[in-house]
Chain A
Amino acid sequence: MSTRILPEFDLLAPQSVTEALDLLATYKDRVTVMAGGTDVLVAMKSRFRTETVMILSGISGMDYIEYDATAGLRIGALATVGQLLDHADVKKKYRALWEAADIFATPQLRNTATVVGNLLRASPAGDCSCAIYAIGGKLLLQSKTGRREVDVDDLWLSYGVTARMANELAVELLLPAVGKDTRTAFQRVTRVNEDLAKLNMAVRLDMSGKICKTARVAMGCVGPTPRRLTGIEGQLEGREITEAVLQKAADTVASEISPIDDIRSTAEYRRDVAGVFLRRTIQQACAGAR
């Protein structure tokens, strides 16, 4: 399957964002950006080939996670999944993301893998990606000619493909500030914890008393990119989350997803358990986790 030996390539190691943007402007799609490298290096050890790799490890000051009650949560492009786990505001206010970080891979991987790299891998199984999709957020992309924000809703174009242009560097992920009426939760189905998801999902419910004002529901491994389940969101919004509402969501979710058979699971299994786990995730959010 793989030789597990890295092929040859040229390496660029910029020491600043400016230098990285200059290099991207020159090399464009001939260079592969590498943050933690946990996806890029594994891919290179099997089939993926690239002339040039640009590592970001020499750039200081990009590994921050900062929370501000009005601005929200800012996650620098080199902040790792492990840093999410250690951050008290993430644990308290962005529960779904914290839970995704908690089950993510292994301690070694969490020390290396970046949150932004998880988004840009554009895998349908990305755990942080799923949680962030439910929470909502914007990715800040910078090039020599300017900056733009891409809403996470518009980030994934197809399997492994994002809206990032070849001359752009992702510099920061911004998650919105959340109030005390926002509840989020995340769940993942795997064979053993070190595996990638057979299925993952995350919900964000913005409550007004007992009524769910707005909902965002994301599910992974049920299509070529993480999916938002807008039909389910519509069933939850404007209602109290009663047993009947949960039952209907669980019963109808299979019609909103299009899973396939792959190495980790079958389409049939995924369709079968999606409802059960959706119900549990919504209940977990309602139970007070935020």
Chain B
Amino acid sequence: MSKHAITLIVNGDEYTLNVPANRTLLEALREDVGLTDAKYGCGTGECGACTVLVDGTRAINACLTLAVAMDGKEITTAAGLAMDGVLHPVQQAFADKAAVQCGYCTPGMVLKTISLLAQNANPTEQEIRKGLEGNICRCTGYAKIVDAVQQAARTMNAETPARRAAGGNA
């Protein structure tokens, strides 16, 4: 099997890796980079536990992506969201609303919310539910997750000018 030298920029840090052809992005993150917040769920793109962001806001399934295909790309995982120990507003909202039970889907849900809010800063409940398709939670029944997304939208809209001034992006 062929091996490939690639560079991934994960949560702002550059990693030079030598990966076999069949390494998925999820495996590269978990095994090579050592970040275990992106989870392995179904392995076939249905559950969203492996969700990561490419180039800031584009959500993808890391389990269905070859690491080599991501050569040179910027990847964000949930572990890269907090700044100087302060949670990202989406993380804070999930904590405040207790939109978490077992927590396995949470990193993916949080990243997916960031991606959703980047496209639509004021989503309706229906838009939130449609936007979160592809991320399955088997504990919560989604009600608190929807609440959390709404709270995050409110905080981020209120904070946007301040965050812009501070140079924050996501």
Q: Is B51 an interface residue when CB atoms closer than 8 A count as contact?
A: yes
Determine the residue in chain B with the shortest Cβ distance to A105.
B134
The answer to whether B134 touches A106 (Cβ under 8 A) is: yes
Determine the residue in chain B with the shortest Cβ distance to A41.
B64
Q: Is B80 an interface residue when CB atoms closer than 8 A count as contact?
A: no
CA A107 to CA B21, docked complex, whole Å: 26
Identify which of residues 37-64 in chain B touch chain A, using a CB-to-CB cut-off of 8 Å: 42-46, 48, 51, 54, 58-61, 64
The answer to whether B22 touches A42 (Cβ under 8 A) is: no
- B61 neighbours in A (Cβ, 8 Å): 108-109, 112
The answer to whether B21 touches A109 (Cβ under 8 A) is: no
The distance from the CB of A268 to the nearest CB of chain B, in whole angstroms, is: 27
- A38 neighbours in B (Cβ, 8 Å): 45, 64
Q: Which secondary structure characterizes the binding site on chain B?
A: mixed
The answer to whether B134 touches A108 (Cβ under 8 A) is: yes
The distance from the CB of B145 to the nearest CB of chain A, in whole angstroms, is: 15
CA A204 to CA B21, docked complex, whole Å: 43
Q: Is B115 an interface residue when CB atoms closer than 8 A count as contact?
A: yes
The distance from the CB of A259 to the nearest CB of chain B, in whole angstroms, is: 24
Encode contact with A along B107-136: 1 for CB under 8 Å, 0 otherwise.
000001001100000000000001101110
CA A45 to CA B130, docked complex, whole Å: 27
Q: Is A57 an interface residue when CB atoms closer than 8 A count as contact?
A: yes
Q: Is B169 an interface residue when CB atoms closer than 8 A count as contact?
A: no
Given A106-B48, A108-B59; A11-B21 close (CB under 8 Å): yes
Identify which of residues 15-34 in chain B touch chain A, using a CB-to-CB cut-off of 8 Å: 20-22, 24
Q: Is A194 an interface residue when CB atoms closer than 8 A count as contact?
A: yes
Q: Is B102 an interface residue when CB atoms closer than 8 A count as contact?
A: no
Determine the residue in chain A with the shortest Cβ distance to B115.
A107
Given A8-B21, A45-B43, A107-B131; A37-B1 close (CB under 8 Å): no
- A106 neighbours in B (Cβ, 8 Å): 45-46, 48, 133-135
The distance from the CB of B13 to the nearest CB of chain A, in whole angstroms, is: 22
- A194 neighbours in B (Cβ, 8 Å): 46, 133-134
The distance from the CB of A123 to the nearest CB of chain B, in whole angstroms, is: 15
- B71 neighbours in A (Cβ, 8 Å): 13, 58
Q: Is A165 an interface residue when CB atoms closer than 8 A count as contact?
A: no
- B2 neighbours in A (Cβ, 8 Å): 10-11
Q: Is A245 an interface residue when CB atoms closer than 8 A count as contact?
A: no
Q: Is B138 an interface residue when CB atoms closer than 8 A count as contact?
A: no
- B133 neighbours in A (Cβ, 8 Å): 106-107, 193-194
- Pick the contact of A111: B42, B46, B60, B70 (CB < 8 A): B60
What residues of chain A have their CB less than 8 Å away from a CB belonging to chain B?
A: 2, 4-11, 13, 34, 37-38, 41-42, 45, 53, 55, 57-58, 105-109, 111-112, 193-194
What residues of chain B have their CB less than 8 Å away from a CB belonging to chain A?
A: 1-2, 4, 20-22, 24, 42-46, 48, 51, 54, 58-61, 64-66, 68-71, 112, 115-116, 130-131, 133-135
17 A-B pairs besides A2-B44, A107-B112 with CB distance below 8 A are A5-B43, A8-B1, A10-B1, A11-B21, A13-B68, A13-B69, A34-B66, A37-B66, A42-B45, A55-B66, A55-B68, A107-B134, A108-B45, A108-B60, A108-B112, A109-B134, A193-B130
